[in-house]
């Protein structure tokens, strides 16, 4: 595994560490400042720009009902100054699939996009998907 | 708008053109060959690798029940040899949000990742999201 790949996976782990700890300062620090950012929370409309995205995280992390979260099966895909990570998010109510995009900025990898959405309950390698919407 | 941005948005439009026309050859041609690829269809487990991803498209595009699809509100975000596009997908049953990632390959932009998931019915700028899962 390359050093960049390790760094991107470490940045992804840092995102979930900040999320699980409801650490708004860490969450703010790990999102890019020089790049345009976007975020799709499950079921939300897409959010664009740092102000809108960070307001959403303040709302989520400040909510006493915010669920415990963990992640697994992270894979990193790198190219130039952008990278994306896919991983499975585990929440009390089920699992989500996340696409997390990172960009190289000021010597590190910062998050520029997070998109999480549902996975079919019980979906695994041996099952057909429940519908063929897209 | 830069030439690259126009090219990325054109590649994104080409993806939906192939999808709507159920054109399996065009769909095959627009996915990257030199990059690792991944795909998250709504509710499916993540698919990795060209063979698995293309098999899913053959299944979807060959299905007589495959829905009509259109897209709108595409925005492109570029960095180096990777770019991601967010857009809204319109289907007969509702709308989805898609993150589409493209990579520069052999002189053009090829798709390396597609992640589509639901948006809350009626979600718009003035409404609160239905839940704060993530």
Average pLDDT, 10 consecutive residues per value, chain A (134 residues): 93 97 96 94 91 96 88 93 94 92 94 90 46 50
Residue from B56, B87, B117 whose CB has the most chain A CBs within 10 Å, to mutate: B117
Which domains does chain B show, CATH number per domain?
Answer: 3-117 (3.10.450.50)
Q: What is the pLDDT of residue A2?
A: 85
> In sequence order, what are the residues at sequence separation of 6 or more whose Cβ sits closer than 8 angstroms to the Cβ of residue B29?
none
Report whether pLDDT(B88) > 90. Answer: yes
Q: How confident is the model at residue B130 (pLDDT cuts 50, 70, 90)?
A: very low
Residue from A18, A45, A84 whose CB has the most chain B CBs within 10 Å, to mutate: A45
What are the structure tokens assigned to B41, written together? 């269809």
DSSP B134: -
Q: What is the pLDDT of residue B103?
A: 94
Do A84 and B82 lie within an 8 Å CB cutoff?
Answer: yes
Percent of chain B topping pLDDT 70? 89
Other CB atoms within 10 Å distance of the CB of residue A59: 14
Do A38 and B77 lie within an 8 Å CB cutoff?
Answer: yes
Report whether pLDDT(B11) > 80. Answer: yes
Distance CA A121, CA A68 (A): 18
Do A83 and B82 lie within an 8 Å CB cutoff?
Answer: yes
Residue from A43, A59, A61 whose CB has the most chain B CBs within 10 Å, to mutate: A43
Q: What is the pLDDT of residue B97?
A: 94
pTM of this prediction? 0.87
Q: Which residues of B touch A133 (CB under 8 A)?
A: 41-43, 67, 91, 93, 96, 116
Distance CA A43, CA B130 (A): 7
Nearest chain A residue to B120, by CA: A43
Nearest chain B residue to A103, by CA: B79
The answer to whether the beta carbons of residues B31 and B50 sit under 8 Å apart is yes
Strand runs labelled E in chain B: 38-40, 47-48, 70-79, 82-91, 94-105, 108-118
Inter-chain Cβ pairs, chain A and chain B, closer than 8 A: 178
In this predicted model, what pLDDT tens digit does every residue of B32-62 receive, in sequence order?
999 989 999 988 889 999 999 999 999 999 9
């Amino acid at each position: 595994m390359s050093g960049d790949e390790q760094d991107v996976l470490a940045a992804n782990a840092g995102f979930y560490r900040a999320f699980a700890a409801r650490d708004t300062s860490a969450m703010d620090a790990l999102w890019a400042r020089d790049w345009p950012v976007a975020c799709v929370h499950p079921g939300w409309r897409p959010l664009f720009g740092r102000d809108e995205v960070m307001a959403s995280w303040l709302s989520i992390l400040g909510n006493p009902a915010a669920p415990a979260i963990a992640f697994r099966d992270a894979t990193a895909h790198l190219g130039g100054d952008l990278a994306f990570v896919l991983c499975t998010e585990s929440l009390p109510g089920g699992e989500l699939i996340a696409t997390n995009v990172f960009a190289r900025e000021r010597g590190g990898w910062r998050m520029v996009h997070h998109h999480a959405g549902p996975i079919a309950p019980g979906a695994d390698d041996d099952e057909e998907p429940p519908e063929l919407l897209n």
